[in-house]
Structure 1
Amino acid sequence: MQAQMQLRSQRTAAGVRTTRSRVQPKVMCRAFNSMESPYAEELKKTAAYIAQKGKGILASDESNATTGKRLQSVGVDNTEENRRDWRELLYTAPGLGQYISGAIMFEETLYQKGRDGRQFVDVLLAQGIYPGIKVDTGLQVLPGDKGETTTQGLDNLADRCKAYRKQGARFAKWRAVVKIGEAGCPSTTAVLENAHGLARYAQICQENGLVPIVEPEVTLGPGDYSIEETAFWSERVYSHVMRLLNEYGVVLEGILLKPNMCLPGLDAPVASPQEVARVTVRTMMRSIPPAVPGIHFLSGGMSEEEATLNLQALNEEAPNAPWALTFSYGRALQSTTLKTWAGKESNWAAAQDILVQLAKANSEASTGKFKGPHPVPGGGRILQALRTGGAGK
């Protein structure tokens, strides 16, 4: 009898241990899915603010070399003073904050001051625009003969994020490019390498108090590939990126996504805004979780009017989308603005006016309310070569 009681006691004790071991993994899973960073709630609020309906992002993060080329295209020398004046023109445009909630800056610009002595980060905040910072250091060609790339910049990223946050930045951007339209592209190596880089960057940013903009760009380039081919690869790239973000413990409510719209190759017939919207929304629905607060489309390759009309069509196609369908535009906001200014003080106000008109048009499009006419009608496709060595978007 005593032996039976001892055996029953052992079984009961073993049962308790077994039960406890079953509970522990559940507790651990909850911990893994909860961000340990003290910035977690702030990051969610920041991402929600930037992704608010009717506002978008001004992508003014071009590197000094890329900015110099654009300045020289309108006869302006590539000097620090001229680069500063150009960014000041953008950031001080009266009323810009009605339509723009965030501005991505290059490192030089983040630390610059305007003519009145105010830091640019304070100039932006005064308009209700959150300052952001480009943290990648450019593209590097992967081994092989296909010209595929990976993105550099993980070295010392944590320390840089701390410094950028101290200076006033509240979000960051990292651009990864996946090449399509050529035999053998994209390779599995390129897809996985770029997804890993984006996930690790996002993890480091969140740990150090910056909302990461995740930019997996399935690049628009030469070729006659169809819009469906772009959609096929975009869906797969985004799915890999989201999987790795989850594996790295990135909180999706505290990120923003900056993808490409689904477009046919530059040598194929241009798709209508309605076709672009149908295919792009389908791709997003299949691959982007509703937890992501905002999808801020890039404008690469599109004219200013095309970028606005496609954004309008996206919001008509999915008026009740789980995420904000909005914009993070560089050229589509800056190209005509720069040409209007051309480095002349007498053109300052006119250039700011066209910038605000373009921002307003895209703001309206991000709510499905753009009726036209467009401030800069027409324009054709723009070939943007893959940039290496630190060039910005």
Structure 2
Amino acid sequence: MDQFEKQFQRIQEGKGFIAALDQSGGSTPKALLGYGIKENVYSGKEEMYRLIHEMRVRVMKDPSFTGDKILGVILFEKTMNGFVDSVPVPEFLWRKNIVPFLKIDKGLKKIESGVKLMKEIPTISERLQDAKSKGIFGTKMRAVIYAKDEAGIIEIAKQQFEVAKVVLENGLIPIIEPEVDINADDKVEIETILREALLAELDKLSSDQNIILKLTLPTEADYYTELIQHENVIRVLALSGGYSRDTACRLLTQNHGMIASFSRALLDDLKVKQSPDQFSKGISTAIEEIYQASIT
């Protein structure tokens, strides 16, 4: 069994969750602020990226951050190209039995028809081949739904699957993430339209085209069971979407077969000035809570 097959099996059958350490240029200042680093502390993007990389390395090196409870990690491109103690990040993670993924979207367009579609992804095939050469197993791309507009929601599903097919053609596994805003007025109706749009796109795939879904926790428990059971779906991940970790974990336990892929809800309690013991306690507590919710 080669590395890809081992990683595929791990994601499909393993117990645990997928951590999201993929804050990009737009969301990095907020992530650093949550970590206790204000914008006036650094100047310029390079220093900002250096600081967020140091935070991520601190997380990845923690003794509790292992494949025992973490199946995979979604990385920002600069993190993929970075190192942990001179070891390339994807290799460092796989040594821990953690499967590396790469965020490939380049941000969102302006809202139209109640949704924000992805911006164009330039030189996508070259980027995918580069990622594959560095040990990346799969990719993630995100778009957001804000309102009940059937045409917009269907367009998001179509765009996500179009990119997913390019990812598959390049030998990687795509995570499709059509996020539903948790504060949307018509969240239940949005989820109904989205589920049908995703099922319609899934049914167009051939038997050897396998994808992962990353979805906002639904209002109705177990609402995405049909997606979880679909033959082309390897796994369905849950994003926290602005919920607190307690709320996200509580909702996740009500959705059997979904596992977490949290970012802020994973990192919320971590601060730059914490002692090693305080930091380790914070990350290990978060990992344990999210793990338990993911195996319920």
Superposition TM-score, scaled by structure 2 size: 0.87
Equivalent residues of 1:202, 1:245 under 8 A apart? no
Look up the equivalent residue of 2:263 and give its one-letter code.
Answer: G
Deviation of the 1:289 alpha carbon: 4.1
Helix, strand or coil: the match of 1:58? strand
CA distance in 1, matches of 2:255, 2:114: 31
The reply on whether 1:300 has 2:270 as its aligned counterpart is no
Deviation of the 1:286 alpha carbon: 4.5
Deviation of the 1:101 alpha carbon: 0.8
In structure 1, the residue matched to 2:250 is 309
The reply on whether 1:357 has 2:290 as its aligned counterpart is no
1:326 and 1:165, CA in 2 relative to 1: closer, same or farther beyond 3 A? same
In structure 1, the residue matched to 2:188 is 231
Deviation of the 1:159 alpha carbon: 1.6
Bigger mean CA deviation after superposition, 86-95 or 287-296: 287-296
In structure 1, the residue matched to 2:118 is 151
1:44 and 1:174, CA in 2 relative to 1: closer, same or farther beyond 3 A? farther
Structure 1 runs not aligned, ≥5 long: 1-40, 264-278, 316-323, 369-393
Aligned residue runs from structure 1 range 1-393, under 5 A: 46-73=7-34, 74-76=36-38, 77-78=41-42, 79=47, 80-97=49-66, 98-114=68-84, 116-143=85-112, 148-180=115-147, 185-188=148-151, 190-221=152-183, 225=185, 229-247=186-204, 249=206, 251=208, 254-263=210-219, 279-281=220-222, 283-291=223-231, 292-315=233-256, 324-337=257-270, 341-342=271-272, 344=273, 347-368=275-296
Look up the equivalent residue of 1:335 and give its one-letter code.
Answer: D
Deviation of the 1:360 alpha carbon: 1.5
Paired residue total: 285
Greater helix fraction, Structure 1 or Structure 2:
1
Look up the equivalent residue of 1:284 and give its one-letter code.
Answer: Y
Bigger mean CA deviation after superposition, 125-134 or 286-295: 286-295
- Residues 183-233 of structure 1: CA deviation (Å, up to 9, x unaligned): xx3241x112211111011111111121111112122126xx4xxx52332
Greater strand fraction, Structure 1 or Structure 2:
2
Equivalent residues of 2:14, 2:71 under 8 A apart? no
Equivalent residues of 2:228, 2:236 under 8 A apart? no
Look up the equivalent residue of 2:61 and give its one-letter code.
Answer: T
Helix, strand or coil: the match of 2:290? helix
1:155 and 1:212, CA in 2 relative to 1: closer, same or farther beyond 3 A? same
CA distance in 1, matches of 2:140, 2:172: 10
Look up the equivalent residue of 2:136 and give its one-letter code.
Answer: A
In structure 2, the residue matched to 1:4 is none
Equivalent residues of 2:19, 2:72 under 8 A apart? yes
What is the RMSD computed on CA atoms of the aligned residues?
2.4
CA distance in 1, matches of 2:110, 2:235: 30
Deviation of the 1:260 alpha carbon: 0.9
- Residues 80-113 of structure 1: CA deviation (Å, up to 9, x unaligned): 3212211101111113221111100111110011
Equivalent residues of 1:203, 1:250 under 8 A apart? no
Superposition TM-score, scaled by structure 1 size: 0.67
Look up the equivalent residue of 2:157 and give its one-letter code.
Answer: A
CA distance in 2, matches of 1:44, 1:175: 25
Bigger mean CA deviation after superposition, 89-98 or 67-76: 67-76
CA distance in 2, matches of 1:293, 1:235: 21
**Deviation >6 Å, runs of 4+:** 41-44
Structure 2 runs not aligned, ≥5 long: none
Deviation of the 1:142 alpha carbon: 4.5
Helix, strand or coil: the match of 2:74? strand
- Residues 294-320 of structure 1: CA deviation (Å, up to 9, x unaligned): 1110001211111112222333xxxxx
Equivalent residues of 1:216, 1:238 under 8 A apart? no
Helix, strand or coil: the match of 1:220? coil
Residue identity (%)? 23
1:205 and 1:349, CA in 2 relative to 1: closer, same or farther beyond 3 A? farther
Equivalent residues of 1:295, 1:326 under 8 A apart? yes
CA distance in 2, matches of 1:289, 1:101: 20
Equivalent residues of 1:57, 1:327 under 8 A apart? yes
Equivalent residues of 2:216, 2:240 under 8 A apart? yes
CA distance in 2, matches of 1:312, 1:110: 31
Equivalent residues of 1:235, 1:287 under 8 A apart? no
1:127 and 1:288, CA in 2 relative to 1: closer, same or farther beyond 3 A? closer
